[in-house]
């Protein structure tokens, strides 16, 4: 069996590597071609070109590289058609991947599989019908997604979310982290995560810092820890310098950065985080949280009119609760965020509700079951009529 896979960023590379591992276990001798990063390459893929060329986001970043990206799209499609694999498997990065799939479908009957469903449940539902023109099967991370994809005419398999298999720090590691940072076992630790991109960190850091004021005024012993995203340590240090509580910024360039971050998540008593998949990482550690996010005024107006749900926090959506308070757009205000944090510090029932929602979320995402990569591999093989 021969498969062509395309991943365009680090998260897709991780999904692709797990899928490849599962496919090798279920279909020995499977042959891989395509585009991927170091994790997929470690599983046996020789990348057609460096995956980093596709890791661009936003109009300002894409425009200067538009012609180069179009050439890469054509190159991928031509290679797929030349190899004629059993399936083309595209992983997230829809702007690039679905363009490749469109060219392949226009010239062949090669089966197309897309890993990670678009968020049509939140906004722009028409994307599913457009996607159905070029995609035969979708591998979904969330259990509520298949009906949306199936309604558009695609097969959709819920395969579980990779967060359930990601390593987590144990109690001794969390205790060692506290000790290393001079944070006592009885001192409450507040984890603050203002985002992973420069624009959102710049926008959210002042709001988050102001929200900490009333929290530290009532609970002066609370310690604040801020894990900085790659390449943003200096920026985060500058933006948090005036925050109350003398925050500890975790440098992503530290030799043990990944282990320290895992330990910080495990050691935290509560968190304030930007909206995104980080809420699932917090839920995996049963850490109560407040979610907040804002964006540029124009984006806020457009997306606000398109949103179809009363929450975008994944823990709320998967658990079918509203246990996690969120403050989005015009509601992303320091006073409201600070009040929500104080409630989590002072109200045992509010914390318990979140812990229960977190556990339910992890259960529904596949914790304790077959690894998502293996489930995804079974779904791909079943779609090809090869069982597994």
Encode pLDDT of 106-160 as tens digits. 999 999 999 999 876 655 667 889 999 999 999 999 999 999 999 999 999 999 9
Sheet with strand 2-7: strands edge to edge:
31-35, 2-7, 87-91, 111-115, 137-140, 155-158
Return the closest-CA partner of residue 278 out of 232, 226, 329.
226
Between CA 257 and CA 260 the distance in angstroms is: 5
- Cα atoms in the 13 Å half-sphere on the side-chain side of 30: 25
Percent of residues in the chain assigned helix, strand, coil, to nearest 5 = 50, 15, 35
The pLDDT, as a whole number, for residue 153 is 95
CB 237 within 8 A of CB 217: no
DSSP three-state, residue 31: strand
For 273, the 3-state DSSP assignment is: strand
Please state, for a pLDDT cut of 70, what percent of the chain lies above it: 91
What local confidence, expressed as pLDDT, does residue 52 receive? 84
Q: What pLDDT is attached to residue 57?
A: 45
Spatial neighbors of 371 by CB under 8 A, at least 6 apart, are 18, 22, 160, 165
Query: What pLDDT does 386 receive?
Result: 86
User: Tens digit of pLDDT for each residue in 84-120?
Assistant: 999 999 999 888 999 999 999 999 999 999 999 987 6
> What's the pLDDT at 60?
45
Concatenate the DSSP letters of all residues of 284-311 into one string: HTT--EEEEE---HHHHHHHHHH--SS-
pLDDT surpasses 80 at 38? yes
**pLDDT of the residue at 58:** 44
What is the rounded average pLDDT for all residues in the chain? 91
Residues 6+ apart with CB under 8 A from 193: 226, 227, 271, 272, 273, 274, 278
pTM of the model: 0.87
- Is 298 a residue whose pLDDT tops 80? no
Percent of the chain scored above 90 by pLDDT?
79
pLDDT at 59: 41
Q: What is the mean pLDDT of residues 28-40?
A: 96
Contact 188, 222 (CB under 8 A): yes
Q: How far apart are CA 87 and CA 98, in angstroms?
A: 14
Q: Which residue has the higher pLDDT, 17 or 124?
A: 17
Tell me: the pLDDT tens digits for 248-261? 999 999 999 999 99
Whole-number pLDDT of residue 188: 97
- Say what angle helices 348-364 and 334-346 make with each other, to 10 degrees: 90
Q: pLDDT class for 63, splitting at 50, 70, 90?
A: low
- From residue 135, how far is each of 115, 117, 174, 341 by CA, in Å? 10, 11, 44, 43
Give dist(CA 108, CA 14) in Å, integer.
29
Residues in the chain: 388
Nearest 10 degrees: CA dihedral of 200, 14, 152, 4? 130
Higher pLDDT: 69 or 110? It is 110
- Residue 229 is predicted with a pLDDT of 86
pLDDT classification of 53: cutoffs 50, 70, 90: confident
């Amino acid at each position: 069996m021969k498969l062509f896979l395309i991943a365009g960023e680090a998260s897709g590379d991780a999904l692709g590597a797990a899928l490849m591992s599962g496919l090798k276990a279920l279909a020995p001798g499977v042959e891989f071609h395509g585009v991927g990063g170091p994790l997929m390459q470690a599983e046996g893929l020789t990348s057609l070109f460096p995956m980093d060329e596709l890791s661009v986001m936003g109009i300002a970043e894409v425009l200067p590289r538009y012609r180069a990206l179009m050439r890469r799209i054509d190159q991928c499609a031509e290679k797929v058609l030349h190899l004629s694999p059993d399936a083309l498997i595209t992983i997230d990065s829809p702007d690039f991947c679905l363009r490749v799939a469109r060219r392949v479908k226009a010239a062949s009957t090669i089966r197309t599989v897309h890993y990670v469903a678009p968020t049509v449940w939140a906004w722009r539902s028409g994307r599913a019908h457009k996607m159905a023109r070029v995609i035969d099967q979708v591998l979904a991370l969330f259990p509520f997604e298949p009906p949306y994809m199936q309604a558009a005419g695609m097969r959709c398999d819920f395969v579980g979310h990779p967060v359930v298999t990601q390593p987590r720090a144990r109690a001794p590691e969390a205790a060692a982290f506290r000790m290393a940072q001079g944070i006592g076992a009885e001192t409450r630790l507040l984890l603050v995560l203002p985002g992973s991109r420069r624009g959102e960190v710049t926008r959210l850091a002042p709001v988050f810092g102001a929200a900490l004021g009333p929290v530290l005024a009532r609970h002066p012993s609370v310690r604040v820890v801020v894990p900085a995203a790659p390449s943003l340590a200096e920026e985060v240090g500058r933006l948090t310098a005036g925050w109350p509580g003398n925050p500890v910024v975790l440098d992503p360039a530290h030799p043990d950065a990944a282990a320290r971050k895992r330990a910080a998540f495990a050691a935290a008593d509560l968190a304030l985080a930007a909206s995104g998949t980080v809420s699932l990482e917090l839920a995996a550690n049963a850490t109560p949280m407040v979610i907040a996010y804002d964006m540029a005024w124009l984006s806020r107006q457009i997306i606000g009119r398109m949103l179809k749900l009363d929450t975008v926090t994944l823990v709320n959506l998967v658990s079918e609760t509203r246990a996690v308070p969120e403050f989005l757009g015009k509601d992303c205000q320091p006073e409201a965020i600070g009040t929500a944090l104080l409630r989590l510090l002072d109200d045992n029932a509010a914390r318990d509700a979140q812990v229960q929602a977190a556990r339910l979320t992890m259960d529904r995402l596949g914790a304790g079951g077959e690894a998502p990569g293996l489930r995804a591999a079974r779904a791909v093989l079943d779609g090809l009529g090869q069982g597994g």
